[in-house]
């Protein structure tokens, strides 16, 4: 018996003019009297299969003409170059065995509304665009591990069930923890601070939860955050890590996801601008001044937090992502370190992405003094008992330290140029969506 090599579609380029076997699903088809064109996918890529009636035989050809969308099968055939297709290769099918039938697949090649697609997200993931988005998501995760490992960080996982609330108590998901109350983590930061005191440079990468009643194209209820934390490091050095990291992500996607970017219609020339360092830095004070001088924000005043229109306007003034430094204390969390010469602001920064994507990173230098931190915890109305361990970090060899959090889905949405953050995560949790 002849042994035919089983390959993945993505590797077709290495098997031109060779006979191979592939496990596939049918996404679409069209046929005439003598020839059928099958659109196929196997999870790694999409391409076309060509079936000739006089080669496969009349009976099989009739069976193939009646195959339905998402039927799974194993095909054998010869790979050819196909300059007309996006993918560049196709297979001339010599045999085909159906594995699993499919009936009335709900996502047809016609246009569907977003709610319908989200209701069928478990199936929608099979389509081309979600496929490209998830491949790019995977690349950004891969590049994240590569970057932080190269820079000497180690990954310290933060718990998901916690007794503390780093980013404010209004956005917490509460849950029972036997006879106690627990929260779903809003941020791994406080644990990463403990990690930094034990290992120097650490990062976490995990899901975080915010019970925000906002329904915008930038907010998820459950999102993934990368949170590096660095001992003996001041804010200026942390900003350098941040910009190197973001440029590394963009470059990695450019290097490894050319096909997916083209499928999404994202121009690589636009992305190339974001690999240029350093990124500009402006103060919060300057940002307020720019907003006021624009005439577009008549009510804006010092002390206001920025919404999406303000962030978009500020980002539009620059070619690259821009750091906004030193926000007023009243609009930032308790753990930040006050500015040495300014009573009213913290040593902190947000990184705003170009093209209206808003804040992708929030970070700061951390308060290092035990008494000041305790006063802030009490002022914020937080339970001292829940933060005793966090205060310990200031009791035993406290050092300057800084860190930041990058929202994975915000970064993906920006890098891919998509409209809505729901496209950047396999199963989005939105205000009114918990299924599938």
Residue ranges that bind ligand 4AD, judged by CB under 6 A: 166-167, 187, 189, 210, 212, 219-220, 223, 225, 227, 359-363, 403-405, 407, 409-410
Q: Which residues pair with 31 in a beta bridge?
A: 36
Phi and psi at residue 47, to the nearest 5°: -155, 180
Q: Which residues pair with 22 in a beta bridge?
A: 75
- Which residue lies nearer to ligand 4AD by CB, 47 or 327? 327
User: Of 349, 351, 323, which Cα lies nearest the Cα of 235?
Assistant: 349
Q: Whole-number minimum distance, CB 116 to ligand 4AD, in Å?
A: 23
Q: Whole-number minimum distance, CB 417 to ligand 4AD, in Å?
A: 17
Q: What Rg, from alpha-carbon coordinates, does the chain have?
A: 26
- Which residue lies nearer to ligand 4AD by CB, 212 or 236? 212
With contact defined as beta carbons under 8 Å apart, do 165 and 382 qualify? yes
Residue 190 CB neighbours (<10 A): 22
Q: Whole-number minimum distance, CB 247 to ligand 4AD, in Å?
A: 17
- Which residue lies nearer to ligand 4AD by CB, 56 or 425? 425
Q: Whole-number minimum distance, CB 187 to ligand 4AD, in Å?
A: 4
Q: Whole-number minimum distance, CB 76 to ligand 4AD, in Å?
A: 45
- Which residue lies nearer to ligand 4AD by CB, 131 or 337? 337
- Which residue lies nearer to ligand 4AD by CB, 109 or 307? 307
User: How large is the angle between the packed helices 235-256 and 128-150, nearest 10 degrees?
Assistant: 140
Q: Whole-number minimum distance, CB 89 to ligand 4AD, in Å?
A: 38
- Which residue lies nearer to ligand 4AD by CB, 85 or 214? 214
- Which residue lies nearer to ligand 4AD by CB, 52 or 114? 114
Bridge-based pairing state of the strands 161-162 and 348-353? unpaired
Handedness of CA 235, 236, 240, 243 (dihedral sign): positive
Phi and psi at residue 81, to the nearest 5°: -70, 150
Q: Whole-number minimum distance, CB 315 to ligand 4AD, in Å?
A: 13
Unique residue bearing structure tokens 């196997």: 42
Residues 407 and 208: their CA atoms lie apart, in Å, by 10
């Amino acid at each position: 018996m002849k042994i035919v090599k089983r390959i993945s579609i993505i590797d077709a380029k290495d098997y031109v003019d060779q006979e191979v076997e592939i496990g596939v699903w049918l996404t679409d088809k069209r046929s005439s009297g003598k020839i059928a064109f099958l659109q196929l996918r196997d999870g790694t890529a999409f391409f076309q299969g060509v079936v000739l009636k006089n080669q496969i035989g009349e009976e099989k050809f009739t069976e193939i003409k009646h195959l339905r969308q998402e039927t799974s099968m194993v095909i054998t055939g010869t790979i050819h170059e196909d300059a007309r297709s996006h993918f560049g290769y196709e297979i001339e099918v010599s045999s085909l065995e159906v594995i699993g039938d499919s009936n009335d697949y709900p996502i047809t090649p016609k246009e569907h509304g977003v709610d319908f697609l989200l209701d069928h997200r478990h199936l929608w993931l099979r389509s081309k665009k979600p496929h490209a988005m998830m491949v790019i998501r995977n690349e950004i995760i891969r590049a994240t591990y590569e970057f932080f490992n190269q820079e000497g960080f180690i990954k310290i996982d933060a718990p998901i069930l916690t007794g503390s609330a780093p980013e404010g108590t209004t956005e917490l998901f509460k849950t029972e923890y036997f006879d106690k109350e627990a929260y779903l983590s809003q941020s791994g930061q406080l644990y990463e601070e403990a990690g930094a005191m034990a290992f120097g440079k650490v990062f976490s990468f995990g899901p975080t939860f915010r019970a925000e009643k906002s329904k915008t194209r930038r907010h998820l209820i459950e999102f993934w955050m990368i949170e590096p934390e660095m001992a003996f490091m001041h804010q200026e050095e942390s900003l350098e890590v941040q910009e190197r990291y973001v440029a590394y992500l963009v470059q990695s996607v450019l290097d490894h996801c050319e096909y997916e970017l083209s499928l999404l219609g994202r121009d690589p020339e636009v992305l190339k601008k974001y690999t240029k360092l350093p990124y500009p830095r402006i103060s919060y004070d300057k940002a307020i001044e720019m907003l006021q001088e624009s005439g577009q924000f008549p009510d804006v005043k010092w002390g206001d937090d920025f919404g999406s229109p303000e962030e978009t306007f500020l980002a539009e003034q620059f070619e690259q992502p821009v750091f906004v430094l030193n926000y007023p204390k009243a609009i930032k969390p308790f753990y930040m370190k006050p500015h040495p010469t300014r009573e009213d602001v913290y040593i902190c920064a947000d990184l705003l992405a170009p093209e209206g994507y808003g804040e992708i990173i929030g970070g700061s230098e951390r308060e290092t003094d035990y008494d000041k931190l305790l006063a802030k915890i009490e002022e914020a109305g937080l339970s001292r008992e829940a933060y005793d361990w966090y205060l310990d970090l200031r009791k035993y060899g406290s050092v300057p330290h800084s860190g930041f959090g990058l929202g994975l889905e915000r970064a993906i949405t920006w890098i891919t140029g998509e409209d809505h953050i729901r496209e950047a995560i396999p199963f989005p949790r939105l205000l009114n969506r918990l299924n599938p």
